[in-house]
Amino acid sequence: MLVPVTFADGFATTARVFTFDGLADGREHVALGLGDRAEAPGPGACDRDPTPTRLHSECLTGDVFGSGRCDCGAQLRESVERLDASGGFLLYLRQEGRGIGLYPKLDAYVLQDAGLDTYEANVALGYGEDERDYTVAAQMLGALGVSRVELLTNNPDKADQLRALGVTVARRVPTGVHLSDANAHYLATKVVRGAHTLDLHVQP
């Protein structure tokens, strides 16, 4: 199914949307085929070379409402344009709040306003620092015929989990640094606590 995609700044493209049955967590995750991956796939079409791929965890506040507390919406916008240019897949994963859900994420925001960082707030609510599991991403890639990826991410855990699940990560390509006064502490904490590869000159 082809879907026109347009962002608030006017960038527009067309994506082929892929749905899946029998994923491990039973949720409704989707993949967007962009650029030459928006064409109808043929046998073996996706595995000649590492396929540019982005695993993007759902962020209602950032992706939809443009929240400045994180860089999620900006990363989504950047990734769609880059994958459209190169050809690739964006896997949109229903893992709000690093896997804890929307309402707990909003509760975590309250704790962050009281002084905890984004990881500490999740733990204070009784969750792990990051509860995301990329088993479904590996299943989705398998269904798409992709076994080797060029992974668009700053997060080494995504690459580590995919490799453990049998997906070859040929290389990891960082996204840009979408820094603002509102998210500087959040981004710095991701670098210090999550080993994200962001070139920052700020302290958490």
Q: Per the residue annotation, which of 54, 82, 98, 132 is the catalytic one?
A: 132
Helix 156-164 and helix 135-144, axial crossing angle in degrees, nearest 10: 70
Question: How big is the CA angle at 8 (ends 100 and 176), to the nearest 5 degrees?
Answer: 65
User: For 102, how many CA atoms within 13 A lie in the half-sphere containing its CB?
Assistant: 8
For the record, the structure tokens of 98 come out as 């690093």
**Residue from 63, 71, 84, 130 carrying the catalytic annotation:** 130
Does the active-site annotation cover 130? yes
SS3 of residue 97 by DSSP: helix
- Contact between 122 and 109 under an 8 Å Cβ cutoff? The reply is no
Active site residue 94: no
Residues annotated as part of the active site: 130, 132
